[in-house]
Chain A
Amino acid sequence: MMKKIKGFLCGFIAINILWFIASILLNTRALPNPIIVYKSFNIVIHKGILSHVAISLYRIFAGVGISLLIGIPIGYFMAKSKVVANILHPIIYFSYSIPKTALLPIAMLLLGLGDTSKVLIMFLTMVFQVIITTRDAIFYIPESIYHVGKSTGKSEWFLLRYVTFPAILPEIFTGIRINLGTALAILLIVEAYGTRLGIGYYILDSWSRMNYNEMYAGIIVISLLGAILFLCMDILIEKICKWKKQVQ
């Protein structure tokens, strides 16, 4: 873990150095000196950037949470039942390729400008990946493990609890990691309209007001948010999937 934190810090410092050099070379208001941006953090925090972070986190967790709650069971039944797979496969295959952010106007028309439409877009962006990850992870579980369980009369619930679920857990965690990155990326789109809260809104609003110091502060905050979420996921994976750590 210390290695990862060290790596993260090295990357952070390197990017800041490059940013510093670029700001001197380009000498433009659009790329301010990082030192000035960091100095403006005091004002930025005072102006309530943390409440923007909190509302964005709520939207991210709602989107990721609902996509897991719905995606994992669908993936499970697709892997276990040919009938379910045959019915759902064409729908998922077609829907997977639709850029979900393009559905934002429809979501807003149907569900209003509030959080529901934003969470729905996040959910739609992530749920297909959760379904496919779960389905594929179940396919890769060796049949022999189920055979041993069935030969000793284990129930479907026992096999789900002790075989299927732990087997797919690392893949689910990897999926969540990817989804968190996706969720952060689409924050800028879903928070561009119909809200005055959220880190995506904060960046876009600062940009439209040409307040570049605040815009860069917002970008730094969203980047740190991503890094912290990734780090939390790594800690969770190490704690829960100890056997994966042994493989690594």
Chain B
Amino acid sequence: MLEIKNLEVSYKKDYKKKIVIQDFNLTLESGKILAVMGKSGCGKSTLLHTIAGVLKFKGDILVDGKKLSAKNTKIGLIPQDYGLLPWQTVFKNCLFGVGYKDKEMENEARKMLDRLGILDLSNQYPNEISGGQAQRVALCRALLLKPQILLMDEPFSALDEVASIEAQKLTAKMWNETKSTGIIITHRLEEALYLADDIAIMANNSKGTIKHIFLNKWKGKLDVTNQEYLEFKNQIEHILMECNE
């Protein structure tokens, strides 16, 4: 379970303290996936990077009751640009998270690359592969960690619609197998509806407050034309528009 209590994240700009997230609370059950949506600049990425252990914060972040730290919590992070090392091959990129010294991990990486359908790209460099393939490499790198928490920052935003749907299906499949607790940031509602158990809308108040959380019963369903689904989607869109004003 992921618990966030009284979270405050700030940074200094021109010697002045700027608060990005204040008094933020969230509980996410183990194995559940939360999609976070909201206007640009509302604090989504800051929240993700704080949970990833990249940013300093005040308050508590607990994973299964223990304080979150990059050393004792396995965190898989997939940034928006995938964060691949341009000077390493696909294979070496996959090992970046788990380290380069474990031979057993090399076999694991090969198996994972095979399952993701990119084993034949092992010796390629990131600039030689497509966006969809790069996303799979980043997914492979994250999954090799067997993460307790999987964090994704708009992982499909750089892909075209066809590649995006394919990548979402694959991500959902792998996510179901790892049972990681996850947070995904997205601007596309369809992505959130397909992947997440809960959808959180962040308020546009520069404090990182969650305005609304929706329980999503349409997870794993694509191309739904059901009236109930469309009403649910409209409801979320309405809240999103309110937040964007």
Residue ranges of A at the interface with B (Cβ–Cβ < 8 Å): 142, 144-153, 158, 162-163, 166-167, 169, 241-243, 246-247
CB distance from B83 to the nearest CB of A (A): 4
| CA gap between A67 and B99 in the complex, in Å | 32
B87 and A243 contact, CB distance less than 8 A: yes
CB distance from B104 to the nearest CB of A (A): 17
Kindly list chain A residues whose C-beta atoms are within 8 Å of the C-beta of B99. Answer: 158
Residue among B52, B85, B125 making CB contact with A151, cutoff 8 Å? B52
Q: With A147-B49, A163-B85 in contact, do A243 and B125 touch (Cβ < 8 Å)?
A: yes
B87 and A142 contact, CB distance less than 8 A: no
CB distance from A137 to the nearest CB of B (A): 12
A153 and B70 contact, CB distance less than 8 A: yes
Most chain B CB inside 10 Å of its own CB: which residue of A149, A152, A158, A167: A152
B96 and A142 contact, CB distance less than 8 A: no
A150 and B70 contact, CB distance less than 8 A: yes
Q: Does B79 contact A (CB under 8 A)?
A: yes
Kindly list chain A residues whose C-beta atoms are within 8 Å of the C-beta of B125. Answer: 242-243, 246
Residue among B69, B82, B87 making CB contact with A144, cutoff 8 Å? B82
B127 and A151 contact, CB distance less than 8 A: no
Kindly list chain B residues whose C-beta atoms are within 8 Å of the C-beta of A163. Answer: 85
| CA gap between A166 and B127 in the complex, in Å | 16
| CA gap between A150 and B77 in the complex, in Å | 10
A151 and B80 contact, CB distance less than 8 A: no
CB distance from B134 to the nearest CB of A (A): 12
Kindly list chain A residues whose C-beta atoms are within 8 Å of the C-beta of B128. Answer: 246
Kindly list chain A residues whose C-beta atoms are within 8 Å of the C-beta of B82. Answer: 144
A149 and B96 contact, CB distance less than 8 A: yes
A241 and B52 contact, CB distance less than 8 A: no
Residue ranges of B at the interface with A (Cβ–Cβ < 8 Å): 49, 52-54, 69-71, 74-77, 79-88, 96-100, 125, 127-128, 141, 145, 151
| CA gap between A83 and B224 in the complex, in Å | 56
CB distance from B146 to the nearest CB of A (A): 12
Can you spell out 20 A-B residue pairs with CB atoms less than 8 angstroms apart? A145-B84, A145-B85, A146-B54, A147-B54, A148-B79, A148-B141, A150-B52, A151-B76, A151-B77, A152-B75, A152-B77, A152-B97, A162-B96, A166-B85, A166-B88, A167-B86, A167-B87, A243-B86, A243-B87, A243-B125
Apart from the given pairs A148-B97, A242-B125, A243-B86, 5 other A-B contacts in the complex at a CB distance below 8 Å: A144-B79, A144-B81, A152-B70, A167-B86, A243-B88
| CA gap between A148 and B53 in the complex, in Å | 10
CB distance from A139 to the nearest CB of B (A): 16
| CA gap between A133 and B48 in the complex, in Å | 32
A144 and B83 contact, CB distance less than 8 A: yes
CB distance from A173 to the nearest CB of B (A): 12
Q: With A151-B70, A153-B70 in contact, do A166 and B87 touch (Cβ < 8 Å)?
A: yes
A243 and B81 contact, CB distance less than 8 A: no
CB distance from A86 to the nearest CB of B (A): 13
Kindly list chain A residues whose C-beta atoms are within 8 Å of the C-beta of B88. Answer: 166, 243
Kindly list chain B residues whose C-beta atoms are within 8 Å of the C-beta of A166. Answer: 85, 87-88
Kindly list chain A residues whose C-beta atoms are within 8 Å of the C-beta of B54. Answer: 146-147, 150-151
Q: With A144-B80, A144-B82, A243-B125 in contact, do A151 and B87 touch (Cβ < 8 Å)?
A: no
CB distance from A247 to the nearest CB of B (A): 6
Kindly list chain B residues whose C-beta atoms are within 8 Å of the C-beta of A145. Answer: 83-85
| CA gap between A147 and B87 in the complex, in Å | 17
